[in-house]
Chain A
């Protein structure tokens, strides 16, 4: 089914007049094949997911998360984080709204941690570049990191370190519970289509450049960095390569869209799976701009707790998959 994109890339290379065995030719081929395939798949997937999601609004998600069940709360948090599109500009009102509805901080954080890591765009990219098995692993690991980090922060009583105005609001009785959310609206197919079309334009407008940048960097890597260099310097042999990859990922900031094509070329060049996962999750989920925003509602101590939790989680993920991926991939 995807052969058509390879043929398209072959033809384009011939049209431009590049030698398909040269480094530049290989890089350009890789770029054209991936970009065309991914853009088409993205349009289809974003539209379909939005059709299904049309009647699910954030108020209804909040009501789901009010469950008192100890495990389900984190599971729901991570799950809804994964299926809602993430915009960092909404993370503050969302945090406030969830917290004042007396949803535990950890559940809200499960939502916020998973949201940028897993979404339909990430799944399309992973599926088409790295295959079904890897996508499944990424999604499961992402959900687990979100759930366990949230649970750990609640266990550490992280709510002690919210900004004082929020703690006061929670302690006072003035805080009336949010009004009941009306039942799910029953939407006609036409209304769903309109919503999905709007979402499609909105999301594609936001991410198309990331697809180009990510695949562009991946293509340069693909054509110009020798494989031996990667396996020699960043291979699975050294235990420290995983925490080092996590640390290098912190100041780098990208969303999943830009990062996944780079993951592909890192893996193709022989970077171990675990190191790649650790590095990518660090780039995607532990970013400074996001943390600066959260400072409005959290004290430094809580930010630091969250941050250290994530860095440890990514390192563990990296070590685990460097050790066990050979076994998993044979299943």
Chain B
């Protein structure tokens, strides 16, 4: 099962991003675990400068905004 991490310090957009990814995964019938990472120490390790950021296979694939639908589909 794929794991996607959403990095963010508890802002509205980060929660939106999580829900958005979960919704799309469900619609597409893909099993997926979405984890929320809000610990600053963890966020620092991924070297992102703006959140929400999305981490797939320990690589940052997106940062700074709620991702678009097409982007999410690529990650599933």
List the interface of chain A (C-beta within 8 A of B): 58-59, 62, 87-90, 92-94, 96-98, 100, 163, 165-166, 169, 178, 202, 293, 296-297
Q: Is the CB of A90 within 8 A of B51?
A: yes
In the complex, which of the residues A59, A92, A163 contacts B43, with contact meaning CB atoms closer than 8 Å? A92
| Residue in B13, B14, B43, B64 whose CB lies within 8 Å of A96 | B43
CB pair B40–A87 under 8 Å, yes or no, is no
* CB pair B50 A58 closer than 8 Å: yes
Known: A58-B50, A62-B49, A97-B48. A89 touches B64 (CB 8 A): no
- Assembled-state Cα–Cα distance A100/B47 (Å): 9
Residues of B contacting A90 in the complex (Cβ-Cβ under 8 angstroms): 11, 49-51, 64
- Check: B1 CB closer than 8 A to any chain A CB: no
A296–B40 touching, CB < 8 Å: yes
Question: For residue B53, which residues in chain A have a CB less than 8 angstroms away from its CB?
Answer: 93
- CB pair A100 B44 closer than 8 Å: yes
Instruction: Name which residue of chain B comes closest to A98, CB basis.
Output: B49
Contacts of A296 on B, CB cut-off 8 Å?
9, 40
CB <8 Å contact, A165 and B41: yes
Q: How far is the CA of A178 from the CA of B60 in the complex (A)?
A: 14
Least distance between A111 CB and chain B CB atoms (Å): 12
CB neighbours (8 Å) of B47 from chain A are 97, 100, 178
Residues of A within 8 Å of B12, CB to CB, are: 89
Inter-subunit contact B51/A93 (CB<8 Å): yes
Does B18 make an interface contact (CB < 8 A)?
no
**Distance in angstroms between the alpha carbons of A93 and B53 in the assembled complex:** 10
A165 neighbours in B (Cβ, 8 Å)? 40-41
Q: Which residues of B contact A89 (CB under 8 A)?
A: 8-14, 51
B1 to chain A, nearest CB (A): 27
Bound complex: CA A58 to CA B50 (Å): 8
A314 to B40, CA, bound (A): 30
CB-nearest residue of chain A to B66? A202
Q: Are B9 and A293 in contact (CB under 8 A)?
A: yes
Compute how far the CA of A59 lies from the CA of B48 in the bound complex, rounded to whole angstroms: 9
* Nearest CB of chain A from residue B24's CB, rounded to whole Å: 19
CB proximity of B35 to chain A, nearest CB, Å? 17
Residues of chain A lying within 8 A (CB to CB) of residue B11: 87-90
Cα distance A312–B8 when bound, in Å?
A: 32
Chain A residue at minimal CB-CB distance from B52:
A89
Chain A residue at smallest Cβ distance from B12 = A89
Question: CA of A315 to CA of B9 in the docked complex: distance in angstroms?
Answer: 32
Per the bound structure, the CA–CA distance linking A71 and B49 in Å amounts to: 24
Query: In whole angstroms, how far apart are the Cα atoms of A296 and B7 in the complex?
Result: 15
Complex CA gap A170/B50 in Å reads 20
CB of B44 within 8 A of CB of A96, answer yes
Residues of chain B within 8 A (CB-CB) of A98 are: 49
- Rounded to whole Å, the gap between the CB of B34 and the closest CB of chain A is 18
Instruction: Name the contact of B9 in the complex, choosing from A59, A92, A163, A169 (C-beta under 8 A).
Output: A92
Smallest CB-CB separation from A296: which chain B residue? B40
* Alpha-carbon distance between A90 and B8 when the two chains are bound, in angstroms: 8
- For window 3-45 of B, CB contacts with A under 8 Å fall at 7-14, 40-41, 43-44
Contact B49 A93 (CB under 8 A): yes
Chain A residue, CB-CB nearest to B68: A198
Q: Mark B49-69, 1 if CB is under 8 A from A, else 0.
A: 111010000000000110000
> Please, could you name 16 A-B residue pairs with CB atoms under 8 Å apart, sorted by A?
A58-B64, A87-B11, A89-B13, A92-B40, A93-B7, A93-B9, A93-B48, A96-B40, A96-B43, A96-B44, A97-B49, A98-B49, A163-B40, A165-B41, A166-B44, A293-B9
Q: In whole Å, how far is B18's beta carbon from the nearest beta carbon of chain A?
A: 14
CB-CB < 8 A to A58: which residues of B?
49-50, 64
B5 CB, min distance to chain A CBs, angstroms: 14
